[in-house]
Structure 1
């Protein structure tokens, strides 16, 4: 957990009471992307409106998620990792509210996830990184395995399937 005296936020485990905020943050973060690779048609295919609270509650019954929460208990970022099946260790979400981006929140969330994964002794972490998140994962030792493509509502999303091997089940900070 972040020391609230040093940062204006702290990291907590996902709780169903935050599901609506997670839904709104996810949608808002996507709709505020301003990048040539993401025209409005792609943003709308990615998230045309917030998903239901129930969607996030069910998703995080199966997976592990952490939230960055500000001093007013508003969710300002979140990250999650698959904990079951063959996708164990797959980071499936990492989003930060637009007003809070570029302040180290994504890194803090990733480091929280990494510490938990180390305790679980997962052998590998993987992620389908976007153009926007690829650099963060590279900074933390992820290696590109292949370019990935996802299709949704007539739009093609290019991504980067990346992995990080956790040598001897120890996770390093890079």
Structure 2
């Protein structure tokens, strides 16, 4: 596994809607974000969660079937586009409406506010769309970000991936107060 380089420049972050030209970057961010987690998941768990980057086709299909945003670093150009630093998406279909499916940040850009910027854009959009609430199955790492934005833990959750068990937290946040008559 190669090491992730620390930032050697001052990032210039912009928030943009997901575009298909970023599918390969999204795939690599997902994989790298999982593989470079320290002291939370075992090597076996990380291998089960992301044995290799998924295809750009997979990510493009997944993100175009939902509402998705990217944070890009305008100071870094890769493949003719600003470098993708992280992504988030929320389900928009009736049964899963308001479910945050993914939030991943490139390891070199973690602890720079990228996750917060992505979440804040999603919440603003969800409020504009009149979503009553948001839900997420937060990992051990992302739990703290969601708590900082007012989410409440509903209960622990467990997922199985390739024989490995992952504990997480089903969390929710009401976006609108219910009107009581």
TM-score calculated relative to the size of structure 1: 0.90
* Cα distance, 1:39 vs structure 2: 0.7
Flag structure 2 segments of 5+ consecutive residues without an equivalent.
1-9
* Cα distance, 1:7 vs structure 2: 5.8
1:90 aligns with 2:90: no
Match of 2:72 in 1: 69
Q: Matches of 2:117 and 2:86 in 1, distance apart?
A: 10
TM-score calculated relative to the size of structure 2: 0.87
Match of 1:27 in 2: 31
Q: Matches of 1:59 and 1:100 in 2, distance apart?
A: 23
RMSD: 1.4
Please identify which structure carries the higher helix content. Answer: 1
Q: Matches of 2:170 and 2:113 in 1, distance apart?
A: 23
1:85-126 per-residue CA deviation (whole Å, 9 max, x = no partner) reads 311100111111111110111001000001110111001100
1:121-164 per-residue CA deviation (whole Å, 9 max, x = no partner) reads 00110001111111111111100101000001000000000000
Instruction: Tell me the secondary structure at the aligned position of residue 167 of structure 1.
Output: coil
2:119 counterpart (110, 131, 152) = 110
Aligned length: 163
Larger Rg: 2
1:156 aligns with 2:160: no
Structure 1 segment 1-174 matched on structure 2, within 5 A: 8-35=12-39, 37-71=40-74, 72=77, 73-168=82-177
Deviates more, 1:154-163 or 1:68-77: 68-77
Instruction: Tell me the secondary structure at the aligned position of residue 145 of structure 1.
Output: strand
Instruction: Tell me the secondary structure at the aligned position of residue 141 of structure 2.
Output: coil
Q: Matches of 1:61 and 1:124 in 2, distance apart?
A: 21
Flag structure 1 segments of 5+ consecutive residues without an equivalent.
1-5, 170-174
Displaced runs of 4+ in structure 1, greater than 3 A?
none
Match of 2:7 in 1: none
